[in-house]
Structure 1
Amino acid sequence: MSTEIIIYILIGVVIVVAAHVLLHRLLKFKMDESAIVKFLQGFENEDKYQTNTAISTAVNISIPRVAVVCEKSEHITHAAEDTQTWAIKNDKKT
């Protein structure tokens, strides 16, 4: 095998591995986000803000992961006075 073929094979492997890692991260985020949103939707009419600890316990995701997912999510917002308390964003436009 020539050196060029080996280099092309290695580049191909790196691209496949990188795509796999990115896809895995995206799917994990979306699954975690979906679980958290589903949990928070149960509180829309009551005390809609829930803490990282309450969410973590209910959906079985670590507290740091809950904080990261809630911060990145477009569907979740934190309370103005407390960045560790989360609720579903009110996207209703009038």
Structure 2
Amino acid sequence: MAGSPYYLAPEVLAKKYGPEADIWSSEVVLYILLSGLPPFWGTTNDAIFEVIKQATLNLVRQPWPVISDEAKDLVVRMLTRNPKKRITADEILANLSY
């Protein structure tokens, strides 16, 4: 499997993916820029993969209380596990208020 574990979308782990996986990976970068940490954490690659497939986001702890609601909404929409329900690049660009 190619790529850094933290940036892999769930559908990449299932080996059934399209361009939606790039939205997920881009969001991991944004999440790290906003919080200083990756959204999903594990001590081994396999642990990271399991967390990516099953964990929920925690946007309550620091620094999230001071992050704008718009940014948090974008984080959630970009890290939606179902790629068919994930926000698209066109939708992101149409809403540059994020």
TM superposition score normalised by structure 2: 0.28
- Say which structure, 1 or 2, has more relative contact order (CA 8 Å, 6+ apart): 2
Please identify the structure whose Cα radius of gyration is greater. Answer: 1
Structure with higher strand content: 1
Structure with higher helix content: 1
